[in-house]
A and B are shown apart, each in its own frame.
Chain A
Amino acid sequence: MLSAQKPMRYGHTEGHTDVCFDDSGSCIVTCGSDGDVRIWENLDDDDPKSINVGEKAYSCALKNGRLITAVSNNTVQIHTFPEGAPDGILTRFTMNANHVVFNSDGTRIAAGSSDFMVKVVEVADSSKQKTFRGHDAPVLSLSFDPMDIYLASASCDGSVRVWKVEDQTCVTNWLLLQKCNDVINAKSICRLAWQPGSGKLLAIPVDKVVKLYRRETWDNQIDLSDTSITQPLNVVVWSPCGQYLASGSVNGSIVVWKVETQECIERMKHEKSYSICGLAWHPKYEQIAYTDTEGNLGLWEDIGGGKKPNDKVASTVTKNYEDLFDGDDDDYLNGDMIEPQSSPNAGANEDHGDDGDLMPTSGHPRRAIIDDDDNSLDIGMIKANSNLLEKEEDDDDDQIGGFPALPTSSTQQPFYDGPRPTPRQKPFQSGSTPVHLMHRFMVWNSVGIIRCYNDEQDNAIDIEFHDTSIHHATHLPNSLNHTMADLSTEAILLACESTEELASKLHCIYFSSWDANKEWTVDMPKDEDIEAICLGQGWAACATSALLVRLFTVGGVQKEIFCLPGPVVSMAGHGEQLMIIYHRGTGFDGDQCLGVQLMELGKKKKQILHGDPLSLTKKSYLVWAGFSAEGTPCYVDSEGIVRMLNRGLGNTWIPVCNTREHCKGKSDHYWVVGIHENPQQLRCIPCKGARFPPTLPRPAVAILSFTLPYCQVTTEKGQMEEQYWRSVVFHNYVDYLSKNGYELDENAKSQPVKEQQELLMKLFALSCKLEREFRCVELADLMTQNVVNLAIKYASRSRRLNLAERLSEMAVEKASELATALGDEEEEEDFRTHLNAGYSTSATEWGRLPGRSAQQDQEMEEAEESDGCEEAEGMPEVPKQRPNPFSKAVSSAEVITPKSAVIASSSQGRVNPFKVSSSKKDPLVPSANVLDTMSKYSRKISSSRAVNKQSSPVIKPLIPKPKSKQASAASFFQVRTPSSSEKRVGEREEKAGNEPPAVQVTAQDNTENKRPKTGFQMWLEENRANILTDNPGLNEAEVIKEGMSRFRILSTEERMVWTEKAKGGAVNDLTEDKKRKRPTAAEDEAKKNEEQKSEDSNVSKKKKPLDQSTNVRLSSFAFKQS
Chain B
Amino acid sequence: MEPAEAEFLAEKELVTIVPSFSMDRVHLIGGDLGPFNPGLPVEVPVWLAISLKQRQKCRLIPPEWMDVEKLEEIRDQERKEDTFTPMPSPYYMELTKLLLNYASDNIPKADEIRTLVKDTWDTRMAKLRLSADSFVRQQEAHAKLDNLTLMEINTIGTFLTQALDHMYKLRTNLQPSGSAESQDF
- On A, residues with C-beta under 8 Å from B are 446, 448, 465-469, 683, 697-698, 700-703
B40 interface residue (CB < 8 Å to A): yes
Q: Give per-residue flags for B20-58: 1 if the beta carbon is below 8 A from chain A beta carbons, else 0.
A: 111000000000000001111100000000000000110
Does more than half of chain B's interface fall in helix, strand or loop, or is it mixed? loop
Which residues of chain A are near B39, meaning CB under 8 Å? 446, 448, 466-467, 683, 701
Give A468 to B23 CA distance when docked, in angstroms.
Answer: 12
Quick check: is B61 within 8 A (CB to CB) of the other chain? yes
Minimal Cβ-Cβ distance residue in B for A696: B108
What are 18 of the A-B contact pairs (CB < 8 Å)?
Answer: A446-B39, A465-B20, A466-B18, A466-B20, A466-B37, A467-B21, A467-B22, A467-B38, A468-B38, A468-B56, A469-B21, A683-B39, A700-B41, A700-B61, A701-B18, A701-B39, A701-B41, A702-B41
Q: Who on chain B is nearest to A446 by CB?
A: B39
Chain B interfacial residues counted at CB < 8 A: 15
A1082 to chain B, nearest CB (A): 52
| Number of interchain pairs (Cβ within 8 Å) | 36
Q: Assess whether A683 is in contact with B40, with CB atoms less than 8 Å apart.
A: yes
Indicate which residue in B20, B41, B61 contacts A467 across the interface (CB closer than 8 Å).
B20
With known contacts A697-B108, A700-B61, A701-B18, A466–B38 Cβ distance under 8 A: yes
A465 touches B40 (CB 8 A): no
Q: Looking at the assembled complex, report how far the CB atom of A693 sits from the nearest CB atom of chain B, in whole angstroms.
A: 14
Smallest CB gap from B106: residue in A = A698
Chain B: CB-nearest residue to A468: B20
A468 in contact with B61 given A683-B40, A697-B108, A701-B40 (CB within 8 Å): no
Least CB distance from A131 to B in Å reads 43
Contacts of B40 in A (CB 8 A): 466, 683, 701, 703
Give the Cβ gap from A728 to chain B, nearest Cβ, in Å: 25
User: For residue A697, which residues in chain B have a CB less than 8 angstroms away from its CB?
Assistant: 108
A525 to B18, CA, bound (A): 43
A468 & B21 in contact (Cβ 8 Å cutoff) = yes
Q: Which residue of B lies closest to A449 (CB)?
A: B39
B22 partner residues in chain A, CB cutoff 8 A: 467, 469
Known: A467-B39, A468-B38, A468-B57. 5 other contacts (CB 8 A): A466-B38, A467-B20, A683-B39, A683-B40, A698-B59
- A-chain residues with CB within 8 Å of residue B16 when the two chains form the complex: 700
- Which chain B residue lies CB-closest to A674? B39
Q: Chain A binding site: helix, strand, loop or mixed by DSSP?
A: loop
Residues of B within 8 A of A (CB): 16, 18, 20-22, 37-41, 56-57, 59, 61, 108
Contacts of A465 in B (CB 8 A): 20, 38
**A469 contacts across to B, CB distance below 8 A:** 21-22
A464 to chain B, nearest CB (A): 9
Closest to B59 in A: A698
Which interface residue of B37, B39, B56 has the most chain A CB atoms within 10 A?
B39
**In the complex, residue of chain B having the shortest beta-carbon distance to the beta carbon of A683:** B40
**Cβ of B73 to closest chain A Cβ, rounded Å:** 15
How many angstroms from the CA of A703 to the CA of B22 in the assembled complex? 17
C-alpha spacing A798/B30, complex, angstroms: 45
Distance (Å) between the CB of B167 and the closest chain A CB?
Answer: 52
Could you say which residues of chain B place their CB within 8 Å of the CB of A468? Answer: 20-21, 38, 56-57
Nearest CB on A from B112, distance (A): 14
Q: Which residue of A lies closest to B22 (CB)?
A: A467
For A467, the chain B residues whose CB sits under 8 A away are 20-22, 38-39
Please report the C-alpha to C-alpha distance between residue A701 and residue B37 in the assembled complex, in whole angstroms. Answer: 12
> How distant is B133 from chain A, measured CB to nearest CB, in Å?
40
User: Please, how many angstroms separate the alpha-carbon atoms of A174 and B18 in the complex?
Assistant: 67
CA distance A466 to B41 in the complex (A): 11
CA distance A564 to B47 in the complex (A): 55
Q: How far is the CA of A700 from the CA of B59 in the complex (A)?
A: 11
B45–chain A nearest beta-carbon distance, Å: 19
Bound together, the chains give a CA A703 to CA B37 distance in angstroms of 12
Chain A residues whose C-beta falls within 8 Å of the C-beta of B61 in the assembled complex: 700
Report B79 CB to chain A, min CB distance, Å: 22
A490 to chain B, nearest CB (A): 16
* Shortest distance from the beta carbon of B121 to any chain A beta carbon, whole Å: 25
Shortest Cβ gap from A310 to chain B (Å):
55
Please name all residues of chain A whose beta carbon is closer than 8 Å to the beta carbon of B108 when the two chains form the complex. 697
**Residues from chain B with Cβ under 8 Å of A701 in the complex:** 18, 39-41
- Give CA–CA (A683, B39) in the complex, Å: 10
Expressed in whole angstroms, the Cα–Cα distance for A698 and B22 within the complex equals 20
CA distance A446 to B39 in the complex (A): 8
Q: Closest CB of chain A to B140's CB: distance in Å?
A: 45
Task: Write the chain A residue with the least CB distance to B57.
Answer: A468
Closest-CB distance, A664 to chain B (whole angstroms): 15
> Chain A's nearest CB lies how many Å from the CB of B40?
6
Q: What's the minimum C-beta distance from A462 to chain B, rounded to whole angstroms?
A: 14
Q: How far is the CB of B181 from chain A (nearest CB, A)?
A: 71
Provide the bound-state CA to CA distance between A854 and B41, in Å. Answer: 36
A469→B40 CA distance, assembly (Å): 15
Report the minimal beta-carbon distance from A463 to chain B, rounded to whole angstroms. Answer: 13
With A and B bound together, what is the CA distance between A272 and B83 in angstroms? 34
For A698, the chain B residues whose CB sits under 8 A away are 59
B22, B37, B56, most chain A CB atoms within 10 A: B37
Q: How far is the CA of A715 from the CA of B108 in the complex (A)?
A: 45
Measured CA separation A698–B38 after assembly (Å): 15
CA distance A467 to B39 in the complex (A): 7
Closest to A703 in B: B40
The residue in chain A whose Cβ has the minimal distance to the Cβ of B39 is A466
Question: In the complex, what residues of B have CB within 8 A of residue A703's CB?
Answer: 40
Question: Once bound together, how far apart are the Cα atoms of A57 and B22, in whole Å?
Answer: 51
> How far apart are B136's CB and chain A's nearest CB, in angstroms?
45
Distance (whole angstroms) from the CB of A151 to the closest CB of chain B: 44
The chain A residue sitting closest to B61, CB to CB, is A700
Minimal beta-carbon separation of A642 from chain B (angstroms): 18
- A780 to B38 alpha-carbon distance, docked (Å): 42
* CA gap between A825 and B60 in the complex, in Å: 61
Q: How far is the CA of A448 from the CA of B21 in the complex (A)?
A: 12
The distance from the CB of A822 to the nearest CB of chain B, in whole angstroms, is: 38
Minimal Cβ-Cβ distance residue in B for A473: B20
Docked CA distance A467–B18 (Å): 10
Q: Which residue of A lies closest to B109 (CB)?
A: A697
